[in-house]
Structure 1
Amino acid sequence: MHKTLPTAAAAILLMASPAAAEFELSLYLGAQSANDSDASGYLPNGGAAFDRNVSWKGKPFDNPFYYGGRAMWWTSGNLGFGIEGTHTKAYASAADQAAIGVSRLEFTDGHNIITANVMKRFPGALEGSNFTPYAGAGIGVAIPHVDILAVGATNRTHDYEMTGLALRGIAGMKYALSDNWALFGEYQITWSDNDVTINGDPGGANGKLRTKLVTHAVNVGVSYSF
């Protein structure tokens, strides 16, 4: 009898938890920019050191486009836990490339930010409407597709690298179309600390680039809850 009660209680909890939970999948596009940042390091193959404030462009509507998605598990208390991935982008200006000594310097496939999120939504905050405000934050990693070619080098750096810590902030508003479907608009900011390896030519030493990137985005998207 004593063994049966805990087993039954555990079974009830397992059955009740999915009923109390809500899963939400969201996809979005948006307009994204990137702040200027200090970029320092040294070029591959024994090249020169550099330290320069770089002007970055997001170009969200150039292929490949800026986009993102997240999966959230909402509790009955309207606290959400989940994961989010955003395909941000950053292109260094032509003047900055020339000053550093590279003919390519971009994170355009893209500067990918992956975070574990905690979010809070506020149903009923706008009484009598289908609008629900929400906010949240996340912590994770930056995994950019690094595209760098030093002037005079033959080996182009063109691969994904895990470059450091990433943080995310979110504030938005959702409009319910039905019990399952909704549209949303939001502001997002991401910060990432990037330590990038620049590949050297065969037999040559690798280079380094270090920079902290901040991006801003206004997103519009659609979500499905079940």
Structure 2
Amino acid sequence: NAYAEQWDAAGLRERLREVIAIDYPVDEWAKEEGIADEEILERVTKAADDLYAGKREKYGPEIMGQVEKAVLLRTLDNLWRDHIITVDQLRQVIHLRGYGQRDPLNEYKTEGFTLFENMISKLRENTTAQVMRVEVQTRPADDMLPDEDELPMMEAHHIDALTGEDELAEGPLLTVTPGKTAGKMDPKKPDTWGKVSRNDPCPCGSGKKYKHCHGAYV
């Protein structure tokens, strides 16, 4: 309820820049004839609401909701750890209040509650400051996938437990171009058989295993 000339308008303007990233001429507003502190508060609140609404419109409510949740949880985690350390330090020295004829238990409860309120205040301020400054960078889904020619070549191996040979590493491979199909297999033309496992029946139709037939010559 102080007079306008007693307001710390410059300090308020600096705090607005720190907390909600708004630089408004509060010191100029304070010089207006008949201005009241309620009107200053109303203008600042509207400016903050407009800034936040612009971010929600730019990034969408869903993305902003995720950002707010992530910022809130990270900030709370940091502040809560500091709060636990401070309360533990208070617990270790609170008994000294007894020398001043004060009840250590009541003192511990009072100061502990004050520390908790301060933590909540910092949580609101720090979360607001980060959310107001956040800039979300999105990438198209296509940019997250590697190009087809950048994918590594796939190889298959199977070691025969008896012979120690790699059954899938032998024999010719059919090269199949994407979008095309391999040619029809001809039992009389081994170059059309593609990859044949050593334990599979020989494509020539002999009834023998490939490793005991044409595979024996590869």
Which TM-score band applies after superposition, normalised by the shorter structure?
under 0.3
Query: Larger Cα Rg: Structure 1 or Structure 2?
Result: 2
For normalisation by structure 1, the TM-score amounts to 0.21
The structure, 1 or 2, with the larger RCO (C-alpha pairs under 8 Å, 6+ apart) is: 1
